[in-house]
Structures are given as C-alpha cells and as structure tokens.
Amino acid sequence: MPRLRVAPWLRRAIEAAIAAAILAVGFLFGEGLSTGGQIYPVPSGVPGMLVLAPPVLALAVITVAYPVMMAATRSDALMGAVSAFLIAADATIVVASAPFVLEGIGRELRGGVLVALLALLPALVGLAGGQFATPLGFGRRAGAIGAIVAAATAIAIILVVGVVAI
C-alpha cells in the first residue's frame, strides 16, 4: 500500500497547530477556564492579563513562526501559517468551551472563542511583518521577525483588553 503524501506546508501547519492548541488549551485548563459548565469570572487587572496572555501568545506566535521558518517558498509559508492558525483556533474553541465573564464590559464568552479572537490580529500582523520585512518572506529570519512582531502585538492587545474589558 503506497504511503499517503501530504503537502509539506500542510504537514507543518498541522504540526504547529497541534503544538499551539495543546499549549493554549493546557493553559486554559490550568487556570480553570475550561471546566465544564462553570462560569469563570476573569480576575480584574494584571491577574486577568496574566491568565489570558499564555494561550493568546501560543496561538499567535507558534502558528505564525513555525510554518514560516520551515517553508521552502513564500506560498508555502503563507498557506502553512494561515492553515495552522485556523486549525489551532478551531481546536481551542471546541475543547475550551467553558463560559467566563469579562466584568469590565459585562459580556460572557467561551474561553476558546475569546483566546482565538484575541490571537487573530497578532497572528495576521506577525505574518505580515515576516513577509514584508524580509526579501524572501520565508525561512528562519522571516519566521523570527514574524514571531517577534506577533508577540509584541499580542502583548499590546492583552494590555489594552486588560485595561478596558477586565
């Protein structure tokens, strides 16, 4: 029986998505945000920011950096990073589904949904940074720049959300 050949960009996207989803869901489980059915009020201020920072950084940085670093072409880097984020965000939304309350804005959201929404913009900005700051748009340098830009953007968004919504 012949071996099933998967495109390299898809294989790397799945690897990055698995790693990011495991980290994001693990952090949410560790903080008690994913315990079935219980409403978890996110702590106000800095503790609330520290609760949300690790899963958001995992989704934003890993899904951008790994596929771009390991890609052989620009299109492989783009398709791999986008696919990795979508797979990891979907897995996080499905597994981390316990509701929790953002008291600053009076909203109740599912844990995975909030983490995926907060990680979306940093992932896009990090991918754009890695593509536009390097001449090739793939490889170790593009992945490193994408990771740094995604992490900086994620930290800025977490700070803004921590001040406004929590």
**pLDDT at residue number 67:** 96
- Asked if the structure places residue 75 within a domain, the reply is yes
Residue 36 covered by a domain: yes
Q: How many domains does the chain have?
A: 1
Residues near 88 by beta carbon (within 8 Å), at least 6 away in sequence: 16, 17, 18, 20, 21, 24, 59, 62, 63
Sign of CA dihedral 128, 134, 139, 142: negative
CA distance 57 to 54: 5
pTM: 0.91
Residue 158 domain-assigned (yes or no): yes
Residue numbers of the domain that contains 138: 8-164
Show the beta-strand stretches assigned E in 5-110: 40-41, 99-102, 107-110
Q: What is the pLDDT of residue 138?
A: 92
51 belongs to a structural domain? yes
Is residue 165 predicted with pLDDT exceeding 80?
Answer: no
User: DSSP assignment, residue 104?
Assistant: T
Lowest mean pLDDT among 2-6, 111-115, 126-130, 140-144: 2-6
Residue 1 lies in a domain: no
